[in-house]
Chain A
Amino acid sequence: MQLLRIKKGYTLRAAGVPSLNLERRKTPDTVAVVPHYIPFIKPRLAVQEKDAVKTGTLLFADKHWPELKFRSPGTGIVEAIRLGPRRILEAVVIRLDEKETHESFEPVSDAALETMGKADLKSRIQDGGLWALFRELPFRNIPMGANDPPGIIVTLGTREPFEPHPSVYLNDASALFRFGLRVLQKLSGHVAVVLPSKYAVPSTLKEAVTHEVSGHYPCGDAGVFLYRTKTDPKHNRTWTLHGQDLLLLSRFLREGRYPTQKIVVTAGPKAQNPCHVTVRLGAPLRHIARTSGSDGAHRFVVGGVFTGYPASGEDYLGFHENAVVVLSEDPTPEKWAFFKPGYQKPTYSRAFWSRLTTRLLPVDTRYHGEERACIGCGYCAEVCPVDILPQFTYKAAVIGEMEEALAHGILDCVECGLCSYVCPSKIDLVHALKRVRADLYREEVHR
């Protein structure tokens, strides 16, 4: 095992971190697949409202690459197909039946995996509707086409304050995890398993971890790891997937059934009893997270406070997401805000008293200030884990200087959101970078 030290980054001392207890939720009434937040896909529906589906029935596939399939995480009736503006498919909602039936796939035994060819393995994963678990760097798109990855990075955590811990979701899953690693080794000769050193894995999996990274959020991220270890431009197209997604993949291959459960965290200052929970894939957020206290408004965030997106309790857990965070969204104005020493204010800077303490602090969804022009404080460059200079890269990006933005390493950006977080001018840096990155991806696909 190799040790890697990552100096940059920032650990948010947020209250409401999940405990390591694992709870179980009852089966919800409805589940859904949310294609809206799966990057760069164009879904073509294979079902209509009122259709009956089994667990594992095809719901939709990608228009341009039909091998990219998405299957139903439950048995029941398609209750609603939610369309957004310009008929964007937002969600396919399924009302669950009492009794569950599965589409059957051919299971893969340990021995069969030994002899199986790469193409065969790929087509099984694609047919099973789990190909979307793979993400291709640098754009984090789903790899489409027949290209082979130069390597695969398994991420066990990034040190986001609210994410499942590998010691919980890998518990009793050593055999599945090892099986998954063998699958990955079939796809690529170079498989790295990256564990932030603050986390632990079950002792039986200790030697499966190839790299340990120490540092702040987002030290365990695949993009950060790649940036620190790559020696050649051809490594840039490495694939990545989350440790828990690897478990889904091997469960599907071994059992021949579409997997239906995973472990997520419900956390945040406004979440009741923050902990790990075993939930159904695509469960409603209100079913996963319970809000605590009745004081004022709150907001659900799917997938971590730095990278996730806002949602309401009626929305559903996304395909790639592992966390449901509840934050306060109190509209009362704060009086005398900037005269206060700030005992309770989380900050990267040293301008508040809270920097002298070590306790966990309440975080909320406020900007904590008005938007201003960049004043050149340089905080963003201090935290950027991949040594981008966000204050300059962002300027190149917004005026459309693509060559310059590329030279600045905009493709190394891991979209961790720290630059936007620390900015005292409240500039949405990472949003601007993301938009340009998405443009670059589309340009590349249409070439």
Chain B
Amino acid sequence: MNENGSFLKRIRKAFDPDGSLARLGPMYEALESVFLARPRFTRKAPMVRDSLDVKRYMMLVILALMPHYGFGVYNVGRQALSAAGRAPDFFPALFLGLSAVVPIVVVVFGVGFAWEVLFAAIRRHPISEGVLVTCTLFPLTLPPTIPLWQAALGISFGVVIGKEIFGGTGRNFLNPALTGRAFLYFAYPAQISGDGVWTLLIDGRTVPVDAFSGATPLSVAGGMERLQDIHGVLLDSGYTLSRLLFGLYPGSIGGTAAFLAVLGAAFLVLLGIASYRIILGCILGLVITAGILNLLAGPELLPYLSLNPFYHLLMGGSMFAFTYMATDPVSSCHMQGARWIFGFGIGALTVLIRVFNPAFPEGVGLAVLFMNLFAPLLDEMAIKARLKRRVLNV
């Protein structure tokens, strides 16, 4: 560790204000502070400060996402092996998954961090930890077959348009990772939607073996003919509730594991990082809206209307987005009461987009972005209501 310190000291010189790399000072500071917390002392009251800082706050989110990476790597490999008609053994699946996921992660982190450093150097603000969370979330929402240049383009859009042009982490009003994801969806729908993109094809194949169905539960449910029994069709495709819960089916890299998202939600709520109001609001909104649609359902109408609310909750990326995207403190509501409504809106919109808009098989990302836009308005209303209760003091 001492060596570490002296090594840092040596390269520090280059980043000093008169050093050759002075413009990249923020990058050095960010890297150094990972290993060494240089003390800054209070001069104004209060003389003591809490031990928690934004860095730890964000690192805990990244920590909660690590199981999703482990799961995602395995699942990508497993689906690829199944699609090639080979036995989905653990280690081959793992290596296959790593070979697909690691390049995406490396590209996303490299490009995302480069934008952050560029903006930090030009605007002379410190590098914020938020970009690390964005770069960690973004690959998990992508299909494993995404071309690397698209991943780079997506994270660029997310970091620059979703965040940096508004002033960086804390001043953005949209979730940057979802902004990038939505950009890719609208710009390159061929590579990010349909049944073909969610499974990696190996051995030079262009189509999976016949026994393998690459359809995601969302596309099965969305492509339903009238008069079909939706639960029966899902079951025929192998989508039982427990399979949806454990997430071993084709989908985005880390978004399908609903059970991991539930554990992650519990972890983050226990640590006080994520708001339980938002997560419960989302779940309530989704279950209640889907329940109402169940009441409207009839044999002549869309079969999707009659889908059990718990299928809605477990399939696709809804739990993942509720836990990690909706709870982004910056772009969500800041008032406790408004957070319930904010969450409820996300849950309700998720179901409505899925059922009534066949162009978007997965609605949760758009639902979060849409409610992000409404968050300031909901906050404003909650603040107004609250200020009315005060005894005037002017």
Q: Which residues of A contact B (CB under 8 A)?
A: 12, 14, 138, 230-233, 235-236, 299, 301, 305-310, 325, 327, 329-338, 342, 345-352, 363-378, 387, 389, 391-392, 406-409, 411-412, 415, 417-418, 420-426, 428, 430-431
Taking A338-B55, A406-B393 as given, write out 14 further A-B residue pairs in contact, using a Cβ cutoff of 8 Å, ordered by the A residue number.
Answer: A233-B392, A333-B37, A335-B1, A350-B271, A351-B271, A351-B272, A375-B54, A375-B57, A376-B170, A378-B329, A378-B336, A418-B46, A421-B46, A431-B44
* Residue of A with least CB distance to B172: A373
B46 pairs with A430, CB closer than 8 A: yes
B169 pairs with A338, CB closer than 8 A: no
Within 8 Å CB of A301, what residues of B?
47
Task: Name the contact of B52 in the complex, choosing from A138, A230, A352 (C-beta under 8 A).
Answer: A352
B345 close to chain A: CB less than 8 A: no
- Per the CB 8 Å criterion, the residue count for chain B at the interface is 57
CB distance from B12 to the nearest CB of A (A): 12
Write 14 A-B pairs (CB below 8 A) sorted by A numbering: A231-B391, A305-B48, A307-B46, A338-B59, A348-B52, A349-B272, A350-B271, A351-B271, A368-B37, A370-B40, A371-B126, A411-B394, A425-B53, A430-B45
Bound Cα distance A332, B332 (Å): 38
Bound Cα distance A139, B244 (Å): 60
Bound Cα distance A80, B54 (Å): 46
* Residue of A with least CB distance to B54: A372
CB distance from A188 to the nearest CB of B (A): 19
B167 close to chain A: CB less than 8 A: yes
Given known A368-B50, A376-B332, contact A333–B39 (CB-CB < 8 A): yes
Within 8 Å CB of A335, what residues of B?
1, 4-5, 35-37
B50 pairs with A230, CB closer than 8 A: no
A329 pairs with B44, CB closer than 8 A: no
Binary contact track B213-247/A, C-beta < 8 Å → 1, others 0: 00000000000000000000000000000000000
Within 8 Å CB of B35, what residues of A?
335-336
Given known A334-B37, A335-B35, A409-B393, contact A369–B45 (CB-CB < 8 A): no
CB distance from A232 to the nearest CB of B (A): 7
Bound Cα distance A309, B45 (Å): 6
B123 close to chain A: CB less than 8 A: no
A350 pairs with B47, CB closer than 8 A: no
Task: Name the contact of A375 in the complex, choosing from B36, B169, B392 (C-beta under 8 A).
Answer: B169
B387 pairs with A373, CB closer than 8 A: no
Give 9 nearest A-B pairs by CB, closest first: A369-B53, A373-B170, A417-B46, A337-B37, A345-B51, A350-B272, A411-B393, A334-B37, A333-B36
B42 pairs with A365, CB closer than 8 A: yes
B273 close to chain A: CB less than 8 A: yes
Given known A365-B41, A366-B40, contact A424–B53 (CB-CB < 8 A): yes
Within 8 Å CB of A370, what residues of B?
33, 40, 53-55, 126
Bound Cα distance A120, B36 (Å): 64
B38 close to chain A: CB less than 8 A: yes
Within 8 Å CB of A325, what residues of B?
47
A334 pairs with B169, CB closer than 8 A: no
Within 8 Å CB of B40, what residues of A?
366-367, 370
Task: Name the contact of B48 in the complex, choosing from A138, A349, A377, A421 (C-beta under 8 A).
Answer: A421
Bound Cα distance A306, B40 (Å): 17
CB distance from B304 to the nearest CB of A (A): 36
Task: Name the contact of B57 in the complex, choosing from A235, A331, A351 (C-beta under 8 A).
Answer: A351
B330 pairs with A367, CB closer than 8 A: no
Q: Which of B232-276 contact A (CB under 8 A)?
A: 270-273
Bound Cα distance A345, B330 (Å): 26
A367 pairs with B41, CB closer than 8 A: yes
Task: Name the contact of B126 in the complex, choosing from A366, A372, A423 (C-beta under 8 A).
Answer: A372
Majority secondary structure of chain B interface residues (helix, strand, loop or mixed): loop
* Residue of A with least CB distance to B128: A372
Within 8 Å CB of B334, what residues of A?
376, 378, 391-392
Within 8 Å CB of A138, what residues of B?
393
A349 pairs with B167, CB closer than 8 A: no
Binary contact track B335-372/A, C-beta < 8 Å → 1, others 0: 11000000000000000000000000000000000000
B43 close to chain A: CB less than 8 A: yes
B169 pairs with A423, CB closer than 8 A: no
Within 8 Å CB of A348, what residues of B?
50, 52
A423 pairs with B128, CB closer than 8 A: no
Q: Which of B9-27 contact A (CB under 8 A)?
A: none
Within 8 Å CB of A374, what residues of B?
170
Within 8 Å CB of B5, what residues of A?
335
A375 pairs with B48, CB closer than 8 A: no
Task: Name the contact of A428 in the complex, choosing from B44, B50, B51, B167 (C-beta under 8 A).
Answer: B44
Within 8 Å CB of A307, what residues of B?
45-46
B52 pairs with A424, CB closer than 8 A: yes
Within 8 Å CB of A428, what residues of B?
44
Binary contact track B100-142/A, C-beta < 8 Å → 1, others 0: 0000000000000000000000000010111000000000000
Bound Cα distance A425, B329 (Å): 13
Binary contact track B55-94/A, C-beta < 8 Å → 1, others 0: 1110110000000000000000000000000000000000
Bound Cα distance A11, B33 (Å): 29
Given known A335-B36, A370-B126, contact A363–B48 (CB-CB < 8 A): yes
Within 8 Å CB of A345, what residues of B?
51
Task: Name the contact of B54 in the complex, choosing from A12, A308, A369 (C-beta under 8 A).
Answer: A369
* Residue of A with least CB distance to B389: A387
CB distance from A381 to the nearest CB of B (A): 8
CB distance from B373 to the nearest CB of A (A): 16
Within 8 Å CB of A333, what residues of B?
36-39
Within 8 Å CB of B33, what residues of A?
370
B168 close to chain A: CB less than 8 A: yes
CB distance from A323 to the nearest CB of B (A): 11
CB distance from A15 to the nearest CB of B (A): 12
Given known A373-B171, A387-B390, contact A308–B47 (CB-CB < 8 A): yes
